[in-house]
Structure 1
Amino acid sequence: MAFKNERTFFEITKAKKVELFHKKYEEAVEKVRKGFETHYPNYIGGKKSFSSDGEYAVITPINKNQVIGYCQKGTREDAKNAILAAKAKFYEWSRTPYQKRVRIFQKAAKIMSAKKYELAALMSFDNGKNRYESIADVDEAIDFLNFYSYLMLKNKGFVAKMGKPFPDEDCTSVLKPYGVWAVISPFNFPLAITTGMSTGAMITGNTIVLKPASDTPLMALKFYEIMKEAGLPDGVMNLVVGSGSTVGEELISNPDISGVVFTGSRPVGKRIFTQMTSETVKPCITELGGKNPIIVTSKANLDKAIEGVARSAFGFGGQKCSACSRLIIFEDIKEKFLEGLVKWTKERVTIGDPTRKEVFLGPVINQKAYDDFAKYAEMAKRDG
């Protein structure tokens, strides 16, 4: 089985069928609108679960008056129950042949691919990505499902015969699953990173409790539905929507959690790492915010460099760790480069509703993000 990237917009552009892409996305937008204000449960042990604290309205950043769904205000008790469900399923799932596990994730990739436009359209409402960024997010999620399946098959479940230290010895390397993993996913890649972290844990025999970002829970719920449709057994994946101060705290402090994978801010990641290593050292995988520099030399193709910097810095409002936030440039091309960057931005960065074809930049994720951007803009004006 060879691995091949899902490259929807690239392939449809190569085939000179870009208008078909726009048609499919816009049809999906209308379909998604009809599902607004759906009430979503949590899922624990394969069953719908409703929080004693009720639910909250998920508001699209495109329009602060538009509710796109209602999700549960998960409690610590909900998180505990989800952990217990995952723990109860671990023995059976960890002993399921890796080939059978792989088939489930391969099927999930096919289901997700068939629903890619609908998922991309929902993502635009969920976190404000434009159609090009949202379809790329979905493609990346499909890639994670396929690539991890490919790796499991290529490495035969990561069980390998080793060399013989002595003639009468046999040595085998075995990758053993840990147990129950807490998966805490971010708002900025609500399907890609959620799928990647969850799949990596589950396909290797672990069970999980997934807590998506409270601003963007709908993509995680759709991912759960896809995995259920693909045949994932009940209890392998448990999903609890809730705040970091309740559900998140339980996930990082509960003794039945064997590992945590988290994508988000550096302060939160450091605190999770401290918690996970305070008594015994448990696996803790964190992908945190960073400063992504781009270096432009005098020999660079300025047109390509300008576009690359602009797209990296301003795409999705820079709300990602891969966004260019440091530009290191040779003195002799500084003025020409900056003039070109300003010109490109004025001409190409259309701001507005991200479901519209011509829009490059949609809204930021929430009011706090808006206030932070406004604060830094004022600092830049003041300090130069």
Structure 2
Amino acid sequence: MSTRSGRTSVVFASGLGNALLHGIGVHHGGVPRALQQYFIRQFNDRKVPYLVCTSTIIEGVNTVAKNVVVYDRRKSKSVLEHFTYKNIEGRAGRMNHYFVGKVYVLEAPPTDKSFSVEFPVGVQRETTPLSLLLSLPDDDLRPISKERVADLFSKSFLSPLTLRANRHVSRDAQEAVANEVLSNIARWRVLLSWTGIPSGAELGAVCDLIFRHLNTAAFRENDVFSGDQLAWHINELRVGNSISKYIRSCVNGRRLPATPSDAVESALRVVRNIVCQRFPRDLMVIDAIQRDILGARGFPVGNYALFAEQAENLFMPATLFALDEYGIPIQTAEALRNVLMPADALDDVLKRLGSLNIQQLQLSGFEREIMRDVIGNLFPRIGLPS
């Protein structure tokens, strides 16, 4: 593990650096997006001869490969669709690079099934998902759809406004939350009526509701096994104000026989799948329910929008966090905060980025290499020192 100025280089802590030293790039959902882009660039530039990947390689990624080895035909616990499988195979051989590509298949491919794609524009049937119907204005609903929506509203004690806002969540899950709040309104009116930044007790309470009622399995798949544990991850990121500190805490607090590499991979999965994605969405589900329940009874209501937005951006300025999409790791963006911020818009940050003298920045050699790649792609006319 390499550290400098209190920052941990995740690429080495997770073992990716060791793979890179042996000429192997790694591309899967648990690898930070910026590093995924880095490995693709290295592979396409033929600086890394091998790329080990999952089906994430087909998600808007342009690769140039002479040979593709398909180890198996599975994605998680399911068999790949034939369309996805053929897309992976299609990475072998690219015009102007390799006229002929070779594909080596180590397991029987998925069955070739013909399929058609339907675009049900304006079509509403008895089987049309209610979540879709709830997103449409009443004037656009067909009679059968109006009946189904009216039936949903009549059977729920939550308001139509709440059901529409939470249309991606089942009515049963929402009502389970509402029933628990109503069963002890004196307690929950205090714990749920927060605005801005929650206290420890308030965050723990809302995380407990989220974990128990809004798809527990999804949290367990990402190594979060209780509401208290969810609250710990979120608070550790918020208070520490550094993803590197958070990852070190996860490594130091890991349970044996988990290795440091296991802990890093788990932490990155929590950051990407839970803190930045699932938690903000689920938090706003609880927000809508508490507004409905507490507001209807004359109690003060909370407002979780600010905290949800902060979590989505990993408690960093949104304009700084967005650099991850351009290929700059979050840890590197943190190190550049003083030279890139404050800024009102992403364009302002990008302009400052293009004017930086990379050699004068307090960055590692690896980070400078990434910065040169990113800035060179964003501003191809800028001459950068090697």
- Tell me the TM-score normalized by structure 2: 0.29
Higher RCO (C-alpha 8 Å, min separation 6)? 1
Q: Structure 1 or 2: larger strand share?
A: 1
Report the structure number with the largest CA radius of gyration: 2
